[in-house]
Amino acid sequence: MILPFNLKAELSVDDPAPNFELLDQSGNTHKLTDYNGNWLVLYFYPKDDTPGCTTEACSFRDDIYEIRELNAKIVGISTDDIESHEKFAKKYSLPFPLLSDKDALVAKSYGSAVRVGPFKMAKRHSFIISPAGKIAMIYRRVNPNTHSSEIIDKLKLLATSKQI
């Protein structure tokens, strides 16, 4: 049985993005403010090295140059530990940070945490955060097969609208 872990009101477009400070697969600390001045694609996913999560991560990997051309960075977050992230990133040559949110506190702050029995996990949600740190787009229904191209199309629109 899956129960909601976050009962507060969900984030909306133009809300300030909740801050975070988490370690990546190499043990480096990442904070929201590290990405000021860039678009940030913050994507939450349930579990390393599972079919949907691998498809989504590899699509972002394959599209990384196009995403970077749009002045955007990608960061993945799940409740897996650093060691799991390190293996996953190495196995699939992922060129972006995977952050460990072991207690699902960051996922909870984004309305993206669920409890599956005794376990806390991240839902497959994505957020585009503006260079000024505001939520520019929220994806609560994500198809791992098409999500990267969906993100790229939205980033192109946001970049031309000068929304920050």
Domains in the chain, start-ordered, CATH in brackets?
40-161 (3.40.30.10)
Strands 29-31 and 21-23: antiparallel
**Catalytic residue positions, numbered:** 53
Q: How many CB atoms lie within 10 A of CB 91?
A: 11
Q: Which residue ranges in the chain fall short of pLDDT 70?
A: 1-9, 162-164
Taking Cα atoms as reference points, which of 1, 8, 17 lies closest to residue 118? 1
What are 19-60's pLDDT values in tens digits?
999 999 999 999 999 999 999 999 999 999 999 999 999 999
pTM to 2 decimal places: 0.91
What does the pLDDT read at residue 8?
Answer: 46
What does the pLDDT read at residue 116?
Answer: 85
